[in-house]
Structure 1
Amino acid sequence: MSRILPWSWPAAAAENPVNDVLYFDYAATTPVDERVIAQMIDCLGKDGTFGNPASRSHAFGQHARERVEQARRQVAELVGAVPAQIVWTSGATESNNLALKGVARARGDKKGHILSSLLEHKAVLDTLKQLEGEGFAVTYLAPDDKGAITLDAVRAALREDSFLVSLMLVNNELGTVTDVAAIGRLVRERGALFHVDAAQATGKVPIDLRVLEVDLMSFSAHKTYGPKGIGALYVGTRALGQVQAQIHGGGHEQGLRSGTLATHQIVGMGEAFALAKAQGESERVRIAALRDRLLDALKGLPILVNGVSAPRVPHTLSLTPYWDVSLGDELAISSTSACNSASNAPSHVLLALGLRPAEALRSLRLSFGRFTTEQEIDRAATLIRNALLQSVP
C-alpha cells in the first residue's frame, strides 16, 4: 500500500541549468527579492494569512484585508499617492487597458482624440489600435533625434477634441525618461487627462504624484523585484468618475476592477515597493557605476549607443553593433522588448529612432539590476568584445 510522503522539491530543481549564464535582462523581468518571497509565503497555507480579503465577517478575511491595505499604503508611499487612489490589477498591461479603454469608453458615443507616441509598450499601442477600431482618433508622436518625446511635440499635436494623453515615464528599451512634469502641466491646461505608464520607472526615478500633474499611472510588481501577475493603477482626483470598469463581477476595488484579491501577490508588490523606497537612491548610484564601467570597457568598439543624448536611467542600455554578432548562450539579453522578442520582430522603438530593420534586429538591450555585480559586468564586456572581434565582416 502506497503512502503519501511530505512534499519536497524535486531533486532536479536543485540543479539550475542557467547558473552559469549572466542575466542582463532586468527590463524584461526581475528576480523576486528573497525578502518579498518571505512575505508572500506568509500569506499561503493553512497557517498563513490565506483568507479572502472580502470576507469581513471573520478573522481570516479581516487579517487578509489588513495585509492588502498595508500593501496599498506601501505602493502609495513610493509614488506619493493616497492609498485609496491605488487600484489593484493583474499587472501593468491590465492597468494600461483599464486606463485607456476605461476613459475612452466612459465617454459613451462621444468620440474624440487620444495622443500617444511610437515609443510606447505594446500594452498601450495595441490597446490604442483597438480604440481606433471603435472610432477614436489617435496620434502617435515620433521621437526627436535624441530619442525623446518632447513638450513641443505634444503641444503641436494636441487638438480641441483631445481628451487623453498617454506616455511612458521610462522607456523599456532605451531607458530614456520623458518629462512628464512639464507635459502634465500642458495637458492639464488643455483640459485632457494624462496617463503615464510607469512600469519601468518605480525604484529608478523619483515619483511624487502629489506634485506631478498626472491623472492615471500604471505600475507593475515584477519590474521591481516583486511577483508576476500583480500590478496597480493610480486613479487621481480628476479621473474619478471618468474611468469605466473593464472587468465586472463583484464590484471590488471601488467598482473599477472586480475579482478576488490575490493577497500573497499584493503583499509581495507592497514589500517590493517598500524596498524600492528604502534603497532606491543608493541602488541608482550603484547601477550607474556599473553602467559606466561597462561603457568604459566597450570604448573604441564599433557600437552605437541608442538614446545616449536624452535624459535616461542607468538601468537600461541599448547598443547597436556595426555588424551582426553572436554572443552564444553565456549572456541573457534581449534585442528588443519581451513582447517583440516573442514575435521575432525588429524593435518598433528603434525603428522610430530611424534605425533600419537589420540594425534594429542586431541591437542588444542590456539591463542591470539589484543583483548585478562588477564581475558580471567585466565578463559581459569581454564576451561582447570577443564576439565583435570574431565576427568582423
Structure 2
Amino acid sequence: MPEASAGKVWAKYEYGFGGSKVMATEMDYYQQLEVDRSCDGATLKSSYRKLAMKYHPDKNPGDAAAEAKFKSISEAYDVLKDPQKRAAYDQYGHAAFTNGGGNNAGGGGFAGAAFNDIGDIFETIFGGGGGGGFGGQQQQRGPARGADLRYDMEISLEDAFHGKQTEIEIDVSVGCDECDGSGAEPGTGVKTCPTCHGHGKVRAQQGFFVVERTCASCQGRGEVIESPCHVCLGEGRVDKPQVLEVEIPAGVDSGTRIRLSGKGEAGARGAPPGDLYIFIHLARHNIFEREGTTLFTRAPISFSVAALGGEIVIPGLDGAKHEIRIPAGIQSGKQIRQRGAGMPVLRGRGHGDMVVQIDVETPTKLSSRQKELLREFQETETGDESPQSSGFFSKIKEAWDGLAE
C-alpha cells in the first residue's frame, strides 16, 4: 500500500520469484512528474519537459542531487508516456517492470503486469521464444517506426489536367541534430538495461511453463539512455517546419493519394521514419464538372441557333478552342460528345471526352420587329415544325374527347 514519507508518495511492495521475497521502496512516478494519475498525455509531456529543463545536468553542473532527480523523472516519463507500460504501472506499480516481479509468493507467478491475458501467454508459447509472435508474426524489436502523416491539398482542375510541381510546408518530427537521433546527450552513451540485464526480454515461470516477452523498460533493445539529450529530452527527434517538393501527376482526382516515402514522423531514437500521404481535393470549377476522365459542361444557345443550327466554341482545359457543331432542330437537354477533349488518364495514355449539354434559351426581351417576325412565323406554323408539342397536344385532345363521350 502507498505510504507518505517526508511529504512524498512512495510505492511500497513485495515481490519474489520462486517463493523468495524482497522489500522495495520506490517513489511514485506520478509524484515525480508532479501530475495527477488521471492526467492526459499532453499534460504529462508538458510537466516532464519543464522538470527536465530545470534539473538537466547542463544547467546544474556538479549538482549530484539535480542529476539524480533528472534521471528519476526521465525514468518515470519513459514508463508513463507508453500507454501499455502506464497501464501496467497503474495496476502493479514498480513490480511490473522488475524481472520476475509480481506477487509470486505462492510458488511463482507471471511477472507483474507483463502478462495480462491468456493471449500474451499463447503469443510466446506458440510463437517461439526467439522473438516470434502469435500466429507467426514477429514481435517488434527496438524503437518503433515513425508515424505516417496525412496532408490535404486542394488544387485547381487545370492543375489536375496538366500536373504540377509544388512545395508544401509542414511541421513534423525530424531526427535531432544535437544527438544525431540517438536520444543521448553528446559525450554520453547508453547502459545495459537494469531490468532485463541486456537481454531485451524478461521471463516468468508458472508451474512448468516459462513465459518470455519483450522487456518493457528498454522495449527489447537491452540498453537504456544514460543521460538524455537536453534538446530532444531523450526522444531522438524534435519538431521542425519542413519544406517538401511534391510532384502532382496529370490526371489526379479528388481522393488520389500521393505517397512520399520517409517524409513522415521520425522514429524515436534513430528508428526509421514514417511516410507522408498527400490527399488531393479538386476545387470547384466555374465551367466544368468532372466524372472520372469525362468533363461535363452546359452550353445555353439561342432558339434561332437551335432551330437553324450553327457552331459554338468551348475553351478546353488544354488551352485549345473546341468547336461544337449544333445540328438544326436540336432540343434542350441534348448532349454532344467531343472525343479526346476530357481529362488525361492518370499514369496512362490518352484522354477522356468532353460532354456538352445544350440548353435552348427562350428570349426574354424582344424588339417590336422581332415580335412582328415571330407572329408572322406563328401564322405559318402547321405543326410539323414542332412534332413533340403537336403530338402531345393531340394526345391531350384525344383524352379530352374520350372523357366528353
TM over 0.5: no
TM-score range, shorter chain: under 0.3
Query: Which one has a larger percent strand, Structure 1 or Structure 2?
Result: 2
TM-score, normalised relative to structure 1: 0.23
Query: Which one has a larger percent helix, Structure 1 or Structure 2?
Result: 1
TM-score, normalised relative to structure 2: 0.22
Q: RCO higher in 1 or 2 (8 Å CA, sep ≥ 6)?
A: 1
